């Protein structure tokens, strides 16, 4: 059976174009867009989350970073790093990282899209749901300051 034109168009599109279409379909606010990156705001249960997606052409990887509206004071960095390590044990996709330059908590995941691993809109849906669900379920309720 021959693939449909929509399937061919999706497979040939630039990965960031696919993410941009997905963001537009959900009416999320686009904060910044470049050829190989997009930053959007995702409404969440506790706050809005910043979704940053970047494409690395040479490595054929896409990095998805969900910045969580949690900023630690310098004195709390050790506690937040420990909390991130404990919460990482419960995550199925991605990992939590503490950005030391901004003291912000991020949920990070990298997709290897080399060869037949064509990025599909369903993957963006799964990743965006995973980012906001994990932030709402584990992260935000765990922080009390």
Q: Where are the domains of the chain?
A: 5-142
Task: For residues 39 and 54, give the distance between their C-alpha atoms in angstroms, rounded to a whole number.
Answer: 9
> 53: exposed, middle or buried (C-beta count within 10 Å: 0-12, 13-18, 19+)?
buried
Task: For residues 85 and 95, give the distance between their C-alpha atoms in angstroms, rounded to a whole number.
Answer: 9
Do the beta carbons of residue 84 and residue 105 sit within 8 Å? yes
CATH of domain 5-142: 3.30.1460.10
pLDDT at position 104? 84
Please name the residues in contact with 37: beta carbons below 8 A apart, sequence gap of 6 or more: 16, 52, 53, 54, 55
pTM of the predicted structure, to 2 decimals: 0.72
pLDDT at position 2? 53
Task: For residues 63 and 52, give the distance between their C-alpha atoms in angstroms, rounded to a whole number.
Answer: 8
Task: For residues 102 and 69, give the distance between their C-alpha atoms in angstroms, rounded to a whole number.
Answer: 12
- Per-residue pLDDT tens digits for 94-133: 888 888 888 888 889 888 877 655 555 566 565 555 665 5
**Across 3-26, average pLDDT:** 70
pLDDT at position 101? 84
pLDDT at position 131? 61
- For residue 92, the tally of other CB atoms under 10 A from its CB is 6
Predicted confidence band of residue 8 (pLDDT cuts 50, 70, 90): very low
Do the beta carbons of residue 109 and residue 126 sit within 8 Å? no
- Per-residue pLDDT tens digits for 28-69: 999 888 999 999 998 877 778 888 999 998 888 889 998 887
């Amino acid at each position: 059976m021959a693939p449909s034109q929509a399937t061919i168009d999706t497979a040939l599109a630039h990965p960031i174009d696919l993410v941009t279409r997905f963001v537009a379909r959900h009416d999320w606010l686009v904060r910044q867009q470049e050829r190989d990156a997009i930053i959007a705001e995702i409404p969440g249960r506790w706050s809005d989350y910043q979704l940053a997606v970047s494409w690395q052409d040479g490595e054929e990887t896409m990095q998805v970073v969900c910045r969580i509206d949690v900023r630690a004071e310098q004195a709390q960095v050790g506690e937040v790093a420990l909390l991130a390590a404990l919460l990482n044990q419960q995550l199925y996709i991605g990992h939590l990282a503490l950005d030391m330059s901004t003291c912000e908590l991020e949920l990070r995941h990298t997709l290897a899209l080399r060869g037949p691993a064509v990025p599909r809109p369903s993957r963006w849906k799964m990743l965006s749901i995973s980012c906001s669900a994990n932030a709402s379920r584990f992260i935000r309720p765990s922080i009390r300051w």
